[in-house]
Amino acid sequence: MQADAEATPGPEDADAGAGDDGGGANVNAQVAERQLIYEATVELRVDDYDAARTTLTEMTRERGGYVGSSRTEVRGEGNETWTTGQLVLRVPSGNYSGAMDAINETGEVRSVDESTQDVTSQIVDLEARLESLRAERDRLRELYEQANDTEDVLAVQRELSDVQTEIERTEARLQSLERRVAYSTITVELREPRPDYEPPERTAWYETPLTEAFLESVNGVIVLGRGAVVLTAYALPYLLVLAVPAVGLALGYRRARGRWRG
C-alpha cells in the first residue's frame, strides 16, 4: 500500500512566478534568496535489488550527486533468500525534484516522507557573528602588536586564541548548513519481496510405509545397543576398582565365619 505524502515544494518551485509584475517581484526575490534544506525518505519494493541499486547510483551521478552511504543485507528462510538495503543519495538541490521522480519510477513506492527546512535566518545570524568575531580578532591583533608588557601580551594571546576558536566553530556550523542547502539528502530503502516459505511436510507415523517403519525400528535398536556398549566401556574401570575391595571383604568374612564355627 502506497502512503500518500504531502507535496513538498522543490527548489524549482521557489523560482516559479519570477516573471510576475508589480509587488510580486520583491516577494519572488526574497523567496529566491531563501536557504532551504530538502530531505526525503522513500521506501521502494523492487524485484531485483542489485539492478535497482545500480539504476539509482547512475541516476544520482548523472545529476551531479553522489552516494553518501549504503547498506545491504541478505536475508533467508529455508532455501529462499531476499535482499534489503539502504542508499543515502546526495543530489544538488536544483535536481531534487527530478531525482525524486526518477526514484519513484525505479520500483513500487511503499512510502514517501519529505521535509523542507528554512535555515535562512540561521545562516544570516552565523554570517553576522563571523563578521563580528573577525573584527574582534583584528582588534586583538593590533593590541598584540602594540603590547609591551609581558602580562599584557599573554592576556591578549589568550583572548585571541578564544576568539579564533569561536571563529572556527562558527565557520564549521555555517559550512555544514551551506552543504546541506547545496545538496539535498534522499534516503532510499530498497526491499525485495519476501518469498513465500513453505516448510517441509511432516508425515504422521500411521502414514509411514511398513518397510520404512521396520527399518526405523531396527535402527533404533542398533542405536540403543551402541549406547549400552559405550556405557559399559565407560563404567568398566570404576567397576574393577570397586570389585577389588569387595572381593577382599568377602574372603575376610568367609574366614572369620569359619573360625566362629570351629
Q: Is residue 47 part of a domain?
A: no
Contact yes or no for 61/205 (Cβ under 8 A): no
Predicted confidence band of residue 182 (pLDDT cuts 50, 70, 90):
very high
- Please report the DSSP string for 153-188 in residue order: HHHHHHHHHHHHHHHHHHHHHHHHHHHHHHEEEEEE
Q: Is residue 150 part of a domain?
A: yes
pLDDT averaged over every residue in the chain: 81
Cell 576558536, residue located:
165
In angstroms, the Cα distances linking 23 to 11, 14, 20, 35, 120 are 22, 16, 8, 22, 22
Q: Per-residue pLDDT tens for 116-138?
A: 999 999 999 999 999 999 999 99
Q: Is residue 144 part of a domain?
A: yes
From 205, 184, 204, 182, select the one nearest 41 (Cα to Cα).
184
pTM attached to this predicted model: 0.60
Q: Is residue 146 part of a domain?
A: yes
What total of structural domains would you count in the chain? 1
Is residue 193 over pLDDT 70? yes
Q: Is residue 255 part of a domain?
A: no
Q: Is residue 57 part of a domain?
A: no
Task: Output the CA angle 197-202-203, nearest 5 degrees.
Answer: 145
> What average pLDDT score do residues 176-198 get?
89
What is the model's pLDDT at position 260? 64
Q: Is residue 206 part of a domain?
A: no
Is residue 105 over pLDDT 80? yes
Enclosing domain of residue 173: 122-179
Q: Is residue 156 part of a domain?
A: yes
Q: How many CB atoms lie within 10 A of CB 116?
A: 18
- 36-45 vs 80-92, strand pairing mode: unpaired
- What percent of the chain is modeled with pLDDT above 90? 52
d(CA 88, CA 221): 61
- What percent of the chain is modeled with pLDDT above 70? 71
In angstroms, the Cα distances linking 153 to 137, 141, 148, 239 are 14, 10, 7, 94
